Structure 1
Amino acid sequence: MVPDKSARVLDYEARLKAFMDTHIYPNEAEFFREAEELGPFAVYPMFDRLKPKAREAGLWNLFLPDSDKGAGLSNVEYGYLCEIMGRSFLAPEVFNCNAPDTGNMEVIERYGTEADKERWLKPLLNGEIRSCFAMTEPAVASSDATNIQAEIKRDGDHYVINAHKWYTTGASNPKTKICIFMGKTDPGNPDRHKQQSMILVPMDTPGITVTRSLPVFGYYGVPDRASEVLFDNVRVPAENLLLGEGRGFEIAQGRLGPGRIHHCMRTIGMAERLLETMIDRSLQRVAFGKPVADQGVTRERIAEARIMIDQCRLLTLHAAHKMDTVGNKEARAEIAMIKIAAPNMACQIADWAIQACGGGGTGNDFGTALAYAGLRTLRLADGPDEVHRDQLARMEIKKRKGLNHPGWEPHVTARGRNPGL
């Protein structure tokens, strides 16, 4: 059961939609032009123009739950708003609600020292700097995070870091000043989940090299600026370690739960926009004597898209409600389900929208190709589909094993064994 929208949420929704209509949608083409012409290692002027407007409108740091630094919304309340912001790749950063900054801010708020909060959290909350998160590595299958080979070795009052990371979101942005880095402080620990730690690494520390920006289906810098980063004998003060040695997985689970909700709600918003594009374009195009919207296959896809979006929205809000009421740990199954369902749903609708737009759907005129590229990454980000399916299946099997009553049993009839169904 998901609670009804509060008056506060309805007010935020109206203000967000008005801001999107006035400032986001009309500026998208310019934003994508800036990204293409300036490249992934530049600051895009669009954000400097729009962020002050969002802050003045009171639409700033909406993601922070139970905090005097943000709106103090629950996961469910923020979910409704995140869907609206997710309709545009430009919007989340304008509202200071973009990945990986949201997760990094939550980590620093929970586990950072007062000095960390003053140095890093405060300017992140103000939108003055950006951050990145270094976890994935090219040499290992990072879907199993215990494979991480990055070294974090104690040396007196410092830790020395050596690693080759990639798909480090945000690393090529000149405004990125701090990195949350995950690596091994105790590789010999028999408990593989206590080998890793997380540490704050200032990006101007000697030994850090952002070697290249990594394209996503040929798109650079929009919206995540994934990058390859080398860490060569990077020395960081020991007090920069978060929570303590061997606590990296613990931090990661606390960080990724809300982040997955955010990704899924944004995905639903983008799916809604893709459905609108599919309908609008199919009404405009005529094939074989009638609008494409009157072709049976198109109508079937429109109907299926509406069902799929609403199913995912309800499932995501249910997961958010469970996180709010019983905590992230108890909502693990629901979080896994939405992380599987939402990106797959949106990728399918993006594909249908591309078909409805014809050849133009594979280019940039309708935003469908970029949408597909961005959505497809979410089947890998924060854990691939296969990992979430495996975890979900394990939970279901464990739950079934815990029951005392038997299930369906085969029985023998005069004609032999019959499964009964």
Structure 2
Amino acid sequence: MDFNHSDRARALQEQLSVFMDRHVYPNEKAYEAAAHDGMRDGRYHAPALLEELKAKARAEGLWNMFLPKAHGEHGAGLSNLEYAPLAEMMGRVEWASEVFNCSAPDTGNMETLALFGSEAQKREWLDPLLDGRIRSAFSMTEPEVASSDATNIRCSIRRDGDSYVINGRKWFTSGAQAAACKLLIVMGKTDPDNPQTHKQQSMILVPRDAPGVKIIRDIHVFGYQSGIGHPEIVYDNVRVPASNILLGEGRGFEIAQGRLGPGRIHHCMRLIGAAQRALELMCQRAESRAAFGMKLSEHGSVREDIAHSFCEIEQARMITLMAADKMDRLGNKVAKDLIAAAKIIVPSMAARVIDRAIQVHGGMGVSQDTFLAKAYTYARYIRIGDGPDQVHLSQLARHLIRQHAQPAAA
């Protein structure tokens, strides 16, 4: 299997690496300090530093690199395989992806609009998202039901003349607290009595400032308040034009599958970057600290943790690249087995590696003095976000059983 990249892809890797060294790593502490004071009037206002870095990145052509070749006129036009090492670099710093307009949930929402949006919807929402002028959120998970089974979703999307009326309660609507968030993509039921349960759901575009959109509270993850927020939202008789429906009634699951496949693999790419950085910090810490008359790096248990971490990162990176390659060659649907495998393997791997790095750092590892605590939170959360491990394990096993249950003819 040949994972060699084109000259252009290698040039972008070098360019991005230089940008990270010059502009992102040196500004980590400044960004954190500014972001801490960003919440005003119930909305998160991005630091001016971030906007400055976005302008620099766009001027250098490091913009919308996540967009596949089918939408290359809007971005770098890279394949998933070519994008993987770039996403890995960005994943080394929690907020770096936004600098390059490559952050979730906007990436998934932009791909959704590019694939399934009407021309009018693209003009109104996709174009400003691609320009980085606005941000967006994805509103699917509900607190009152087990949303790992999306057929449980209760949010109502009811046709009323030339409008749809939306009623329901959502949470973990990532991105909705951002002051720049102007669009919510909401999944709900337009036909709750349809005997085909996967035809009951639809997705609809809701302006963030539409009357009846009520932010109840932000949801903190392990005590951390995310800048863009994961709020709980009540949709109280929210009325939007009928033209805001995506693709048509009953197409919600179809859209979700088209959206979540790339989103899942992008999370895996970023988490590999976080794990790789944690391994590097673990090695540096182990070599610079001594305990019981020896460097930490001379203790057998620490060496084993470092070696295990290297092996696990390389295994996870390989299956992620295999998934990206299969997506490029055969399409997201055909690659769903490897996407599921990567989603199962990578977040758990990253959490283990980061946890080992935290242990080697001692008290410093759980403090704000390294990126490790937030990185661990991200890795652990993604074992639930975009579908919990158990769902991916079950679906992958079901696919494998169908594939291999019948013995081959002698």
TM-score range, shorter chain: over 0.9
Give the one of 92, 107, 115 matched to 2:112. Answer: 107
Partner of 1:43: 45
**Are 1:36 and 1:220, in contact at CA under 8 Å, matched by a contact in 2?**
no
Moved >3 Å (runs of 4+): none
Task: Say whether 1:143 aligns with 2:148.
Answer: yes
How many aligned residue pairs are there? 405
Instruction: Provide the rounded CA distance (Å) in 1 between the counterparts of 2:2 and 2:260.
Output: 22
Q: Secondary structure at the match of 2:158?
A: strand
Give the one of 56, 63, 66 matched to 1:63. Answer: 66
Give the Å deviation of 1:3: 3.2
Write the letter of the residue equivalent to 1:56.
Answer: A
Q: Secondary structure at the match of 1:132?
A: strand
Q: Secondary structure at the match of 1:188?
A: coil
Task: Say whether 1:212 aligns with 2:217.
Answer: yes
Partner of 1:411: none
Instruction: Provide the rounded CA distance (Å) in 2 between the counterparts of 1:322 and 1:306.
Output: 24
Give ranges in structure 2 of 5+ residues lacking alignment: none
Give the Å deviation of 1:330: 1.0
Instruction: Provide the rounded CA distance (Å) in 1 between the counterparts of 2:98 and 2:400.
Output: 37
After superposition, give the CA deviation of every residue in 1:87-129 in whole Å (9 maximum; x if it has no partner): 1112100000000000101111111122211111111011010
Task: Say whether 1:133 aligns with 2:130.
Answer: no
Q: Secondary structure at the match of 1:268?
A: helix
Partner of 1:86: 91
Give the Å deviation of 1:38: 2.5
**Are 1:2 and 1:321, in contact at CA under 8 Å, matched by a contact in 2?**
no
Partner of 1:389: 393
Instruction: Provide the rounded CA distance (Å) in 2 between the counterparts of 1:80 and 1:367.
Output: 20
Task: Say whether 1:54 aligns with 2:44.
Answer: no
Q: Secondary structure at the match of 2:44?
A: coil
Between the aligned residues of both structures, percent identity stands at: 54
Write the letter of the residue equivalent to 2:295.
Answer: P
Structure 1 stretch displaced more, 232-241 or 103-112: 103-112
**Are 1:350 and 1:372, in contact at CA under 8 Å, matched by a contact in 2?**
yes
Q: Secondary structure at the match of 1:259?
A: helix
Partner of 1:161: 166
**Are 1:177 and 1:203, in contact at CA under 8 Å, matched by a contact in 2?**
yes
Instruction: Provide the rounded CA distance (Å) in 2 between the counterparts of 1:208 and 1:133.
Output: 14
Write the letter of the residue equivalent to 1:43.
Answer: H
Write the letter of the residue equivalent to 2:343.
Answer: K
**Are 2:138 and 2:185, in contact at CA under 8 Å, matched by a contact in 1?**
yes
Q: How does 1:238-387 map to 2 (within 5 A)?
A: 238-387=242-391
Instruction: Provide the rounded CA distance (Å) in 1 between the counterparts of 2:137 and 2:80.
Output: 23
TM-score, L = length of structure 1: 0.94
Partner of 2:181: 176
Give the Å deviation of 1:403: 3.1
Instruction: Provide the rounded CA distance (Å) in 2 between the counterparts of 1:403 and 1:53.
Output: 58
After superposition, give the CA deviation of every residue in 1:198-227 in whole Å (9 maximum; x if it has no partner): 0000111100011211111111124x5211
Q: Secondary structure at the match of 2:404?
A: helix
Instruction: Provide the rounded CA distance (Å) in 1 between the counterparts of 2:406 and 2:150.
Output: 29
Instruction: Provide the rounded CA distance (Å) in 1 between the counterparts of 2:350 and 2:293.
Output: 30
Partner of 1:414: none
Instruction: Provide the rounded CA distance (Å) in 2 between the counterparts of 1:98 and 1:402.
Output: 43
Instruction: Provide the rounded CA distance (Å) in 1 between the counterparts of 2:159 and 2:291.
Output: 68
Instruction: Provide the rounded CA distance (Å) in 1 between the counterparts of 2:385 and 2:213.
Output: 23
Partner of 1:228: 232
Instruction: Please provide the CA RMSD for this pair.
Output: 1.1
